[in-house]
Amino acid sequence: GDSVTQTEGQVTVSESKSLIINCTYSTTSIAYPNLFWYVRYPGEGLQLLLKVITAGQKGSSRGFEATYNKETTSFHLQKASVQESDSAVYYCALGLGGSNYKLTFGKGTLLTVTP
Amino acid sequence: GPKVLQIPSHQIIDMGQMVTLNCDPVSNHLYFYWYKQILGQQMEFLVNFYNGKVMEKSKLFKDQFSVERPDGSYFTLKIQPTALEDSAVYFCASSLAWTGGSQNTLYFGAGTRLSVL
């Protein structure tokens, strides 16, 4: 089956410091992987942060970046300088081919940015 | 951005009773979904729904589950009867399209926490 593994639990980063949340995926499907990062702010629904559907390409949004690395099957989320407003739960997700409605999610990483 | 609303945010129910979870999807969206997240686990796909029909369901979508969207109103997930293992957070999502570009982006609600006692 398919699976997504991301940095577990909680990550605490001081404001203006850099961030990396690791994500790796595994699939037995022959369909091409599409990779996503979703974010959930307190009390809100998941929002798509960024997505990449082509291996080797980088997605970016709100200062966050992630590169789809087919060789290492990874899609790590990075930001050079975090802000308190980035505090949220981040989810890495895998979609396959045209079936992007049936996402396989990681367990989520709670990011807390301290002043 | 577009909002998916889920009502209520938390529901407590006795095992064996029926429960209906309500979802108000993005107004012009055509495709609807439910996901389930057990505490400490990943969100998992349950079902997707289009034009009044279930298009695909996972093995988690038990016979006790049903979905509908009568008259274009709320998209609902009904569980009858409920079991202890149905305790989870249920997330509704909607999208404008099935595939292609940005139109198949899923927009999720904040979830309804269901506690079956």
Nearest CB among A45, A51, A106 relative to B42 is that of A106
B111 in reach of chain A (CB within 8 A): yes
By CA distance, what is B5's nearest residue in A?
Answer: A45
Write out pLDDT tens, residues A85-94: 999 999 999 9
Reduced to 3 states (helix: H, G, I; strand: E, B; else coil), residue A86 is helix
- Give, as one character, the DSSP assignment of residue A70: T
**Computed from CA positions of residues A99, B48, B107, B70, in that sequence, does the dihedral angle turn out positive or negative?**
positive
CA distance A3 to B99: 22
| Cα separations in angstroms, B24 against B50, B54, B79, B107 | 15, 18, 18, 11
Write out pLDDT tens, residues A100-114: 778 999 999 999 999
With CB atoms and an 8 Å threshold, state whether A45 touches B45.
no
Q: Residue B72 phi/psi, 5° resolution? A: 65, 20
Cα A39–A41–A45 angle (5° rounding)? 75
Mean of pLDDT values over B79-101? 89
Cα A5–B10–B3 angle (5° rounding)? 70
CA distance A31 to A29: 5
- CA of B17, closest CA in chain A: separation in Å? 27
Joined together, the tokens standing for residue B44 give 């998992």
Percentage of chain B modeled with pLDDT above 90: 79
With tokens 């999720």, the residue in question is B108
* Res B35: pLDDT: 97
* Res B99: pLDDT: 62
Joined together, the tokens standing for residue B31 give 């495709």
Of the pLDDT bands very low, low, confident and very high (cuts 50, 70, 90), residue B100 is: low
Nearest CB among B31, B104, B109 relative to A45 is that of B109
Cα B97–B29–B79 angle (5° rounding)? 105
With CB atoms and an 8 Å threshold, state whether A102 touches B48.
yes
Average pLDDT over chain B, rounded to whole? 92
- Give, as one character, the DSSP assignment of residue B41: S
Mean of pLDDT values over A12-31? 94
With CB atoms and an 8 Å threshold, state whether A102 touches B45.
yes
With CB atoms and an 8 Å threshold, state whether A98 touches B99.
yes
Write out pLDDT tens, residues A36-87: 999 999 888 889 999 998 899 999 999 999 999 999 999 999 999 999 999 9
